[in-house]
């Protein structure tokens, strides 16, 4: 089993904050995958009734709620998370979706899981790896507890550092401002890595890591959902996005991490104080423009995320390469 670090690092996203939890664990997940892509991924994972699914870092149970029905009837669901409060909420969510009788919950860490080798038919980690410093260790553990022939699936960020694909009516970008945003994005990503808070480019590395670990039929899909709103917000999807945007404004959550943490990450990534002050001023002005356009119902935007699903299958013969960091 992997050896855990003696010094436990404080996570840079405060999941005990109800507003943050609503933003990161509920809304962002709900907006990621379209129903058509959920069905497509279930086929790619070769899900069928009677399988045993593990949701690593389950949070509020999103992955089990989304793909759990594809292993029913007769399937079993196990949610693993280090936070007891999240496990309790996940249990209630699955009870509400009539999946509770098939579900069990275990407090634990994806980097050192309390399960025997080859226990699960499919192991899923949904937006977990980007928050870990020990990403390869977590992948080794997922592979270890998956049965021969079983699926290992990781959903996570594959961020390039630049502005994500999109446009907003509150911004009037120039070449100079776009270059500045690209630099700050790259410095924030580097700061997150240097602070040991994970790596939001991890989705880009995972196909290579899975191949190197001997997984078969490794494949990747990019999130296909484009979120957009434009007055007068007619469709149900636009109404939902419009409502979510107004709620974010009321909660003053314009990003999933507190801004003071974001500026700390910029400093760790090598940004100078002049650039940080410029970013602070821009963020304040952008928030005021956002609030004004939302109040006047003139806000429009189109946006897509840099988010991938990467999966592979453990060899049927059970032959696997040694875990990362061990001699072959």
> According to the model, what pLDDT value does residue 80 have?
98
Are 73 and 105 members of one domain? yes
> Residue 174 burial by CB count (10 A; 0-12/13-18/19+): exposed, middle or buried?
exposed
Q: How far apart, in Å, are the Cα atoms of 23 and each of 8, 15, 120, 254, 261?
A: 25, 10, 30, 10, 16
> According to the model, what pLDDT value does residue 323 have?
54
Are 83 and 147 members of one domain? yes
> According to the model, what pLDDT value does residue 325 have?
44
Q: Is residue 273 part of a domain?
A: yes
**Interstrand relation of 307-313 and 146-157 (parallel, antiparallel or unpaired):** antiparallel
Average pLDDT over residues 24-50: 83
Are 107 and 79 members of one domain? yes
> According to the model, what pLDDT value does residue 6 have?
35
Q: Is the pLDDT of residue 207 over 70?
A: yes
| Calpha distance 307→54 (Å, rounded) | 21
* Angle at CA of residue 74, ends 70 and 75, nearest 5°: 50
Task: Give DSSP secondary structure letters for 183-204.
Answer: HHHHHHHHHHHHTTS--TTHHH
Are 90 and 236 members of one domain? no
- How many distinct structural domains can be found in the chain? 2
- Match 């989304």 to its residue by tokens: 66
Are 213 and 236 members of one domain? no
Q: Is residue 3 part of a domain?
A: no
Are 104 and 177 members of one domain? no
Give 154's strand partners.
125, 310
Are 220 and 236 members of one domain? no
List phi, psi (to 5°) of 11.
-70, 140
> According to the model, what pLDDT value does residue 40 have?
96
- Look at 263 and 7; give whichever has higher pLDDT: 263
Average pLDDT over residues 68-72: 97
Q: Is residue 1 part of a domain?
A: no
| Calpha distance 304→302 (Å, rounded) | 7
- Look at 247 and 53; give whichever has higher pLDDT: 53
The most distant pair of C-alpha atoms in the chain lies apart, rounded to whole Å, by 63
Average pLDDT over residues 187-200: 86
Are 83 and 144 members of one domain? yes
Containing 225, the helix (H) or strand (E) segment is none
Q: Is the pLDDT of residue 321 over 60?
A: no
Are 90 and 215 members of one domain? yes
Q: Is the pLDDT of residue 12 over 50?
A: no
State which residues form the domain around 145: 18-156+200-225+307-313
> According to the model, what pLDDT value does residue 26 have?
58
| pTM (predicted TM-score) | 0.80
Mean pLDDT of all residues in the chain? 84
**Interstrand relation of 301-304 and 226-229 (parallel, antiparallel or unpaired):** antiparallel
């Amino acid at each position: 089993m992997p050896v855990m670090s003696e010094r436990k690092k404080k996570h840079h996203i405060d999941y005990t904050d109800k507003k943050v939890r609503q933003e990161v664990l509920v809304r962002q997940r709900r907006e990621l995958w379209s129903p058509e892509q959920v069905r497509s991924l279930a086929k790619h994972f070769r899900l069928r009734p009677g399988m045993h699914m593990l949701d690593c870092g389950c949070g509020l149970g999103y992955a089990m709620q989304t793909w759990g029905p594809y292993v029913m009837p007769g399937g079993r669901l196990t949610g693993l998370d280090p936070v007891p409060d999240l496990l309790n909420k996940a249990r209630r969510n699955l009870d509400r979706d009539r999946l509770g009788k098939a579900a069990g919950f275990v407090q634990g860490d994806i980097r050192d899981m309390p399960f025997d080798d080859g226990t699960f038919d499919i192991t899923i980690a949904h937006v977990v790896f980007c928050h870990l410093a020990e990403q390869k260790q977590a992948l080794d553990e997922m592979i270890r507890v998956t049965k021969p022939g079983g699926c290992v699936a990781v959903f996570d960020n594959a961020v390039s550092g630049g502005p994500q694909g999109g446009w907003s009516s509150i911004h009037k970008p120039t070449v100079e401002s776009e270059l500045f945003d690209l630099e700050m994005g790259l410095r924030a990503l580097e700061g997150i890595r240097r602070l040991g808070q994970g790596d939001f480019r991890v989705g880009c590395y995972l196909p290579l890591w899975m191949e190197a670990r001997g997984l078969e039929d490794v494949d990747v899909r990019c999130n296909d959902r484009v979120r957009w709103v434009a007055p007068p917000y007619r469709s149900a999807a636009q109404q939902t996005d419009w409502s979510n945007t107004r709620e974010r404004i009321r909660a003053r959550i314009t990003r999933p991490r507190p801004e003071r943490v974001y500026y700390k990450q910029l400093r760790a990534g090598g940004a100078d104080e002049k650039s940080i002050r410029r970013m602070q001023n821009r963020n304040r002005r952008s928030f005021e423009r956002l609030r004004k356009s939302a109040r006047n119902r003139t806000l429009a935007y189109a946006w897509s995320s840099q988010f991938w699903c990467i999966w592979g299958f453990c060899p049927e013969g059970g032959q696997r390469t040694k875990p990362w960091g061990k001699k072959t």
